[in-house]
Every structure is written in structure tokens, then in C-alpha cells.
Amino acid sequence: MKVMKSLLLGSAAGFVAMSGAQAADLPVKAKAVEYVKVCSAYGAGFYYIPGTDICLRVGGLLRVDYNIHGPAGRGQSWFQGTTAVPINDADSATGWRSRGALILDARTNTAYGTLRSYALLHISNESAATAIANANAASMDAAFIQFAGFTFGYAPSLWKFAGAYGFNAMIGSGDLVGVSQIAYTAQLGNGVSASIAIEDANTRRGYIASSTIFTITGGVITPLALNASYKGQYYPDVTANVRVDQAWGSAILTGALREVHAAINPGVSVGPEKWGYAVGGGIEVKLDSIAPKDRAQIFGSFGKGATGYAGSGPGGNFGVTAITDNSGLNGPIALWVDAIEAAATPGSLSLTKHTAVVGQFQHYWTPMLRTNIGVGYTKLDLNNNVTTAVAVHPDAKILNATLATVWSPVANLDLGVEVMYYDVKTSLAGGVTQFTTSNDGWSGTFRAQRNF
């Protein structure tokens, strides 16, 4: 019995020793992996960057556009520089654009409020529906920092209101993708805010033209070289607005000041300078009583020496085109003139005027099917500046209208068609010479877009 007991105790001691030895040989257990955590403070799609208190959303879109414009022989023209080129069989009637965009939105809560940095970058491949060759391009729609009420960087202008309902910005809306700026916004309570900014003046520059930018031969307007222009930027544009954003919708009063400063011409030691301005106002109303997410908007503006505030689309369109849409149809460069320097009086500077109004309506037939309607009217007044017997300054009346229907069969997928009509009427009057011409046309876009 004693022998058996000794054997059992010895065996147990051996097992314990062996177990201890094996345990000592095992690796130390690794720390738990720090998994990505959802950040719900700023809405869906945000998560914490591991090891930080920064909430980040990564998103973007993929878009494919197929564009077409009216047939040759209907008086339509596209413009290369200051030269009108009638559309003919040498031009492509259709074009393509494929675009991919990346959105990065990072936010952190601080004692001063939310610290936000935002970037929207895209790369496009396109063939315009004119004689322009295929092009690959990378560009930036936004890149800004917001902190304690300030905005620093490339962001929507304080002039911008609700933006385009359809595929293309309406002429007269002054809708920019973005503009470099330093802005400050004060929240006054109950949805009321007041903002002021300095913005890049080059973005909205029109032209400063001489008094002989056109000739008329046989009833045909021929643009000449613009032999007067802006000088280098001395002062930024100053913009400001007061907004109301509440459950019923939004309203805005906005204004801008800009330096109109001509380059030095022969016989002038210092280029002439004046200050132009623009004022605008708009209202957008939610119409859920008709259908959920229905809305309507109207925006109007008046300006002197600041035609860029009536334009639309990317900044390069201001002062360069009267009509811009995805089909590549453009209008005459000479229409977007901020001021005219009389050739007979070097150093003089006469500011032009603009009046514009845009209305848009969006209706949801079903939660997956919507229609957007837009109408815009812009008047550019240059004839007040005619001082010679021969009319050389064109007044312009621009009417454009859009109709788009979009089907969203699943969330974040849009399949739609938009048709745009535009009519540009120019009139010249000076002394005994009078001239009127009209140029209208249409374009269409099919779009497939996936947001994520």
C-alpha cells in the first residue's frame, strides 16, 4: 500500500513539473487587436481612425455622361477664343465623359466646436461634342479646413445658394464649384447665420475690353482681339451673406465687391480702376405637402462691373463663355465683359451691368423617380457704353432652360436624362447702326452615377 501511494504521488509531481516546463515554453499572449470603431456623432459612414479621436468618412462617386447636341445647319456655334465656329460635319455631334471622384471628410470635436477638413478630388476622361480632342484631367472641387467658424481653402463661395437641381448649373445662378477663400460664419441662433469672406478675384473675372471688340460686315458680327484686359490682382473680392436655414427651407441675401482694374495701355501711365459690385437674393422652399423631398428655388441678382457673378460652372467659364454645358457648346467670349476702356479716351473705364434670375423645381413622382425643371434669364447691358457712331458693344439676352428626369432603382444609383435649351440674342445700337441676331440650340446628356 505504501509502495502504491508513493508511485501515485511521484507520478502527480512529475506531471506538474512537465506542465510547468511546457507552460514556460509557450509565447506570451498578444494584446487584443484595436478594431475600427463607428463614429456616430457626425452621421452615417464615419469611423474613428485607430489610435486617434478623428472621425473620418471616405466616399466618392463614379459618373458616366453621354452628350449630344443639335445637328449642324441650325445656326449653332461653338467658340474658340474669340472666334465663332459654326457647327458642321467636321465636328462631333456626340461626346463622352467618365469621372471618378474621391471624398475625404475628417472631423474632430474640440473646445472651439468641430474641426473639419474636407477634400473632393476627381479624375476625368472626356471627348467634348465639338472638334476638341479627347482629354484626361485631374482637378479639385473642394479642399478646405473649417475651425471655430472660419473656413480656409477651396470651398463653395458665399455667393452660392442652393446650387443646380439638374446636371448643369443654370446661367444666371452664379454657381461655382469652388473658390479659394478665407471666410468667417457667425451662427446667430434659430437657423440664422451671417458670413463674410475674401475670395480669389481671378475666379470670377470677366474681361476688360476696348471699344472696338466687334466689327459688322454683311450682317455678321466678327469679334476682334481684346486689346485691353485686367491687370494683376491687387485686392481679393469681398463677399458676404445673411442666411436663414429652417425646417421650411432657406433664404439668402448676398453681396460682393470687386476691383475692376485695367492693365496699362499705350499712352496711359497707370491703368484705370473702379469698384464693381453684385447683390443677390433667393429663397428655397420645401414642398413636402406635394410629395416628400419636393422643393422649389428662385434666385436673382444685379451687378455692375461683375458679370462673373451671373455666370455658371467652373471658374474658367467666367469671361470666356456665355453658354457652357457638358456637350461643349460655348457662347461668345465678348459677352462677359466687366468694363470697357474707350479707345479714343485712354484711361477711361465704363462698367457694364447684368441682371439675372433663375428658378428651379424638383418633383418626386415616386421615391425612386424625380424630375428637375429649371429656367434662367440673364441680361448683359453694354450698349450704354457705346460712344462711337458704329455699334461695337453687344447687349445680350440669354435664356436657358433644363429638363431632367432621374431614376434611382437602388440607393445611391442614378440613371437620368437631361435636355438643355438655350437662346442667345445680341443687339448692337449706336448712332444710325442697329443690329440684332439670335442663336439658339439644344443639347442632351444621359448620365449614370454611383455614389458611395
Report d(CA 38, CA 50) in Å as an integer.
11
Question: Do 352 and 338 contact (CB within 8 A), yes or no?
Answer: yes
pLDDT of residue 342 exceeding 70, the answer is: no
Between 394 and 40, the more confident residue is 40
Query: So what's the pLDDT on residue 134?
Result: 54
C-alpha cell at 181: 477663400
Mean pLDDT value of segment 25-44? 72
Between 384 and 58, the more confident residue is 58
Give tens-digit pLDDT for 229-263.
777 778 999 999 999 999 999 999 999 999 988 87
Average pLDDT across the chain, whole number: 77
Mean pLDDT value of segment 267-287? 85
DSSP reduced 3-state for 75: coil
C-alpha cell at 447: 448620365
Report d(CA 429, CA 86) in Å as an integer.
24
Query: So what's the pLDDT on residue 366?
Result: 97
Query: So what's the pLDDT on residue 381?
Result: 83
pLDDT band at 351 (very low <50, low <70, confident <90, very high): confident
pLDDT band at 310 (very low <50, low <70, confident <90, very high): confident
Query: So what's the pLDDT on residue 427?
Result: 67
Please state, in angstroms and as integers, the Cα–Cα distance from residue 261 to each residue in 234, 235, 258, 347, following that order.
9, 10, 9, 10
Report d(CA 174, CA 313) in Å as an integer.
8
pLDDT band at 203 (very low <50, low <70, confident <90, very high): confident
DSSP letter for 313, please: S
Query: So what's the pLDDT on residue 327?
Result: 33
pLDDT band at 154 (very low <50, low <70, confident <90, very high): very high
Among 90-94, 154-158, 416-420, 429-433, where is mean pLDDT lowest? Answer: 429-433
Query: So what's the pLDDT on residue 340?
Result: 78
Cβ within 8 Å of residue 194, ≥6 positions away: 185, 186, 188, 240, 241, 242, 243
In this structure, are strands 207-210 and 337-341 parallel, antiparallel, or unpaired?
parallel
Question: Do 126 and 97 contact (CB within 8 A), yes or no?
Answer: yes
Query: So what's the pLDDT on residue 217?
Result: 52
C-alpha cell at 39: 463614429
pTM of the predicted protein model = 0.79
Query: So what's the pLDDT on residue 151?
Result: 98
pLDDT band at 110 (very low <50, low <70, confident <90, very high): very high
Between 25 and 338, the more confident residue is 338
Between 442 and 357, the more confident residue is 357
Half-sphere exposure of 429 (CA within 13 A, CB side): 9
Report d(CA 77, CA 439) in Å as an integer.
8
> Exposed/middle/buried for 110, CB within 10 Å: 0-12, 13-18, 19+?
exposed
What proportion of the chain, given as a percentage, has pLDDT over 70? 66
Query: So what's the pLDDT on residue 90?
Result: 57
- DSSP per-residue letters across 129-177: SSSPPPEEEEEEEEEEEEETTEEEEEE--TT--S--SSSSPPTTS-B-S
> Exposed/middle/buried for 410, CB within 10 Å: 0-12, 13-18, 19+?
exposed
Between 264 and 195, the more confident residue is 195
Query: So what's the pLDDT on residue 298?
Result: 96
pLDDT of residue 12 exceeding 70, the answer is: no
pLDDT of residue 202 exceeding 70, the answer is: yes
Pick from 40-49, 126-135, 348-357, 437-446 the range whose average pLDDT is largest.
40-49
Give tens-digit pLDDT for 374-426.
999 988 887 554 444 334 556 778 888 999 999 999 999 999 999 888 777 76
Query: So what's the pLDDT on residue 248?
Result: 97
Which domains are assigned to the chain? 148-451 (2.40.160)
Query: So what's the pLDDT on residue 282?
Result: 96
